[in-house]
Amino acid sequence: MLRLRLVRNEGERGRINRGDETFENARYYHLGVSNSRPSSPTNDVQVILIRIEEAGPDGTFQVAWVGEVPMRWRNQESSPLTRTIGPEANCDLCCVGERRWLSLMPLITPFSMSATKNARCRIALLLQARSTQADSNVFRAEISWDGVWEDGDAEIQSHLQINVSEGSPTRS
C-alpha cells in the first residue's frame, strides 16, 4: 500500500529563481511517498491534489477548489511524470519565500485554482498517491501560515505549521 508523510516539519532551505535572474531565499516542504512492501514496487505513481479548502470568516474550512491535478516530483524537470515506488520518493507540497508568499506546487495550475498566497492563510489540501496497482488513503495537510518569514529551522516553525492526517481511500 502507498503512504504519504510530511518529510520535515521545518521544510528544506533553498533558493528560488524569480524569473528575472534574481534569487530569493525559500523553504520547500515535501511529501514522502512510500510503499509498505518495497520489495514489490508500485508502478506509475503520481500524487494527486483532489481538493483545496480555505478557512472562511468563522474559521471553519470551506471548499475552494475540487479537481485532480498531479503534484510535482522533487526535481521534476529531470524526473519522469510517474514514478515506480519501491524506495521512498519525494514530491513537492509547497514553498514559502522570504518576500512573504506561499505557493502550492502542483505540476500545472488550473485557472480556477489559487495556488499562491501573499498574506497569512489557513488552507487544507487533500491528496492521494495513485498507481496502477493501488492507491494510498487520502492525506490531509493543513497549512497555517501567519505571513511571516524566518530563516532559521526552529524560527520558521513558529510561523508556518503543517498538520497532517490520513483518511480512507476515495476509490478502489
Q: Is the pLDDT of residue 172 over 50?
A: no
Residues 6+ apart with CB under 8 A from 109: 69, 115
Domain residue limits, the chain: 2-166
Q: How much is the pLDDT for 168?
A: 63
Q: Is the pLDDT of residue 171 over 80?
A: no
Q: How much is the pLDDT for 1?
A: 83
Higher model confidence: residue 76 or residue 152?
A: 152
No. of H helices and E strands in the chain?
A: 1, 12
Average pLDDT over residues 46-60: 96
Q: Is the pLDDT of residue 167 over 80?
A: no
| Percentage of the chain exceeding pLDDT 90 | 79
CB 30 within 8 A of CB 10: no
CA distance 58 to 136: 32
